[in-house]
Amino acid sequence: SQQGEEDPQALSIQEGENATMNCSYKTSINNLQWYRQNSGRGLVHLILIRSNEREKHSGRLRVTLDTSKKSSSLLITASRAADTASYFCATDATGGGNKLTFGTGTQLKVEL
């Protein structure tokens, strides 16, 4: 079963706009991670947020985590056409031994 569910499934925005993707999960976690996948390629790690953290930044990325609601959001600011990709959240469940459970992903399209 999927631990993480992303929302929306697809998102289309104009270059320069912000993109927000949400992830919900079901069990307690050690950390939550976001990955990016360009078409036909492998996944690439973007950012990790630990269960005791509420917000984290990396360049144009901002991730929030609300463990009481079992949800996370990924914000990409000032998006570029090169940000077009699928984005996945993944959870490392408590006691899970570093096995990540992935959501179904959000397809982001950034148009010029």
Partner 1 sequence: DAEITQSPRHKITETGRQVTLACHQTWNHNNMFWYRQDLGHGLRLIHYSYGVQDTNKGEVSDGYSVSRSNTEDLPLTLESAASSQTSVYFCASSETSANGELFFGEGSRLTVL
Backbone φ and ψ for 44, nearest 5 degrees, come out as: -125, 130
Compute the residue count for the chain.
112
- How far is the C-alpha of 103 from the C-alpha of 88, rounded, in Å? 6
Q: Which of 13, 48, 61, 75 binds partner 1 (CB under 8 A)?
A: 48
Backbone φ and ψ for 55, nearest 5 degrees, come out as: -155, 145
> How many Cα neighbours within 13 Å face the side chain of 51?
15
Name which of 63 and 100 has its Cβ closer to partner 1: 100
- Residues that contact partner 1, how many (by CB under 8 A): 27
Site for partner 1 in 68-97 (CB under 8 A): 88, 90, 92, 97
Asked whether position 33 contacts partner 1 by CB under 8 A, the answer is yes
- CB of residue 38 vs partner 1: minimum separation in angstroms? 10
Q: Which of 41, 54, 57, 80 binds partner 1 (CB under 8 A)?
A: 41
Closest-CA residue to 88 (of 38, 42, 34, 44): 34
Binding site for partner 1 (CB under 8 A): 1-2, 4, 30-31, 33, 35, 40-45, 48, 50, 88, 90, 92, 97-105
